[in-house]
Amino acid sequence: MRNLIPLLLTLLFIASFTSAEIKNLKISSDSRPMILFERFGFTHTGQASITVSSVSVMSNVASPEPSRLGFFLLSEESLTQVLIELQSNPSFCVLDSKYINLLFTFRDLSPPPHSSFSHSYPITSPNEYSLFFANCAPESTVSMKVRTELYNLDGRGDEKDYLSAGLTQLPSLYFCFSVIYVAFLAYWIYVLLQNKKSVHRIHLLMGLLVVMKALNLLCAAEDKHYVKVTGTPHGWDVLFYIFQFIRVVLLFTVIVLIGTGWSFLKPFLQEKEKKVLMIVIPLQVLANFASIVIGETGPFIKDWVTWNQVFLLVDIICCCAIIFPIVWSISSLRETSKTDGKAARNLAKLTLFRQFYIVVIGYLYFTRIVVFALRTIAAYKYQWVANAAEEIASLAFYAIIFYMFRPVEKNEYFALDEEEESAAEMVLKDEDFEL
């Protein structure tokens, strides 16, 4: 059972932020020693309802002992003790651990041909638990249908809340931010109308990005709301994934196009800049497909960890790729500044692009590293704080880049003060604009 240690750590590390809903799953000829189904934050009114049916166990050796297969709950605090037990005894069965909350074993199943079991368990100690199935029977495979229903009861005790204790605030959170982005869009349209002569195509694309962001958040709010009250998303998850895909592709495209200076500095893209877009967009298609697989299935499928790794790898590649156009633009502007004699203009452009570079790096670092750290260290009741931090960072990022590249006749791109030419030339000579 030693191979359970890295498996257990990997599953809990990656799946620590999944939210529960009513799920009907089918396990076919699965030989894994442990299967993680859900991770859920329970309050003092929590309930775990599990139904298994059509159970069959096949073994290449002796008939497996039914008590060696079963379901249990494991809290994060007990994980360390279970890992110690597994490490000290290679043949140890996790179902024998005193640190788990054993729900039932296959000994409790009804006799064939039904081979089923259904029961609801009240959670006596509020905490965040992971629901596992363990198979300690050597060389055996399991097939079964599983229905899981993890929820908390509200204050009156008659309504079920299918969102984890730390995520139940998400519907309101996402709806509030969708309203903010609608207001953002209205103000952006006002700015465009006030500066019609300075509007470029990139400004329209930026406005479309805000539209997609608002729709994405609205669908996320509805998706989480219906999961919260009914246990199923009622189709809102489909709209959420559609708008999320468009929004993410647009976001990366806008960053690349702004980084190249498209429609601001030049009306075309160079071949190497086109190649960046041709790399980023297909990779984002793959990343969004992986995101759908991760969100709509769960750690119970065999390739779930692989899909997580694909998503993380592709996201890292895309984040690195969108930095290159900004660096190329800064390098090109520095070379131009030596020959065209327009020091003030070039200094303003170089300063703007270096600021844009810093903002993009900061945004990517915060949303990929800091938010992940918040999710990891935050108590299970406050997991929503990480989502709030991510949305606040995104809103700040949008506000900053929209302000930096707003359509005004005299902004950083076009600020030409001839009196500052000499000073600008000196700065360009002294300042290397190292990134």
Domains and CATH numbers, the chain: 4-161 (no CATH), 170-430 (1.20.1070)
Q: In the 8-state DSSP scheme, what is residue 368?
A: I
Q: What's this model's pTM, rounded to 2 decimal places?
A: 0.87
Q: Which two tokens stand for residue 369?
A: 């590293």
CA 420-422-427 angle, 5° bins: 90
Question: Which bin fits 98, alpha (ψ -120 to 50), beta or left (φ > 0)?
Answer: alpha
Write the pLDDT tens digit of every residue in 54-106.
999 998 877 888 999 999 999 988 888 888 888 888 788 999 999 999 999 99
Instruction: Give pLDDT, residue 413.
Output: 43
Q: In what order do the strands lie in the sheet with 101-105?
A: 34-42, 127-135, 69-75, 101-105
Which portions of the chain are predicted below pLDDT 70?
Answer: 1-20, 157, 263-266, 336-346, 409-435
Q: In the 8-state DSSP scheme, what is residue 96?
A: G
Instruction: Give pLDDT, residue 61.
Output: 79
Question: What is d(CA 387, CA 323) in angstroms, rounded to the nearest whole number?
Answer: 25
Q: Residue 62, exposed/middle/buried by CB under 10 A (0-12, 13-18, 19+)?
A: exposed
For tokens 């406005």, what's the residue? Answer: 207
Query: Is residue 64 reached through a cis peptide bond, with omega within 30 degrees of 0 on the bond before it?
Result: no
Write the pLDDT tens digit of every residue in 342-392.
555 667 778 888 899 999 999 999 999 999 999 888 889 999 999 999 999
**Residues sharing a CB contact under 8 Å with residue 170, sequence separation 6 or more, in sequence order:** 163, 220, 221, 224, 384, 387
* Residue spans of beta strands (DSSP E) within 76-116: 101-105
**Under 8 Å between Cβ of 38 and 124:** no
